[in-house]
Amino acid sequence: MTFQDIFKSSFLENVASVSLLDMALALLLAFGTGLFIFFVYKKTYQGVMYSSSFGVTLVALTMITTVVILAVTSNVVLSLGMVGALSIVRFRTAIKEPLDIAFLFWSIAVGIVLAAGMIPLAVVGSVIIGGILLVFVNKKPHCNPYILVLSCADSSAEKQAAAFLAGHVQKCVVKSKTAEQGKVELNYEIRLKRDDTDFINELARMDGVSHAVLVSYHGEYMG
């Protein structure tokens, strides 16, 4: 085969470039591995609202990547054209959870490895990655963080509430403070000594405290 023969391409010649058995086996393995990635994503999701469409996207992305790489590895000319075609694609959907990026790359990597014929690497690697994610993401922290939104009438009520919190929580840090005429609003990051939130009821009944709201805190804060 000469150098010119490599770049000769015919539509009918490309029909049999990838056998039906290879396509079926690769897509079946991609589907099974994509479902495993979907399962791990569902078990490790810690966002506010779970989106099943993103999980289905992971399965589809694994299979689509497998199809693309199968086509690229069977034809040199097609691989060059594919690089040019994919270079103009722009994805503008915002990724809200940092861990979602890992799942996207995981799906793409598995599709590439399966299409390359490295089945043990794709299967064993996915099992190890999934096990690590299940262990570390679902690992419960020593003490759960919370955000306390507190409204006080004046500075004296603020100091009284701060002293009360210091005696009932393990850690208390001011994240933001908004002062208005006759009103002071504070956002605290607190860590409880134990799983008991009854102190919020006492805090809300204090003189000068109009309301107290306790919400779970997952590391993202906007003030």
Matching residue, tokens 């089945």? 119
Round to whole Å and give the CA distance between 208 and 186: 13
pLDDT digits (tens, 9 = 90+) for 173-216: 888 888 888 788 888 888 887 777 788 888 888 888 888 888 87
Nearest to 178 by CA among 142, 151, 198: 151
Taking a C-beta distance cutoff of 8 angstroms, is the pair 30, 62 a contact? Answer: yes
pTM for the model = 0.62
Nearest to 150 by CA among 208, 102, 195: 208
Nearest to 54 by CA among 29, 71, 34: 34
Q: How confident is the model at residue 221 (pLDDT cuts 50, 70, 90)?
A: very low
pLDDT digits (tens, 9 = 90+) for 89-137: 566 666 677 788 899 899 999 998 998 888 899 999 999 999 999 988 8
Nearest to 174 by CA among 166, 182, 192: 166
Q: Is 104 exposed, middle or buried (0-12, 13-18, 19+ CB in 10 A)?
A: middle
Dihedral sign computed on CA atoms, order 110, 111, 117, 123: positive
Percentage of residues in the chain having pLDDT higher than 90: 18
CA distances from residue 146 to 33, 99, 169, 216 in whole angstroms, order as listed? 36, 21, 11, 5
Taking 80 as the threshold, does the pLDDT of residue 18 lie above it? Answer: no
Mean pLDDT of the chain: 79
CATH class of residue range 145-216: alpha beta
Round to whole Å and give the CA distance between 190 and 165: 9
Q: Is 119 exposed, middle or buried (0-12, 13-18, 19+ CB in 10 A)?
A: middle
Round to whole Å and give the CA distance between 122 and 33: 8
**Domain span(s) for CATH 3.30.70.260 in the chain:** 145-216
The confidence score (pLDDT) of residue 140 equals 60
Round to whole Å and give the CA distance between 55 and 52: 5
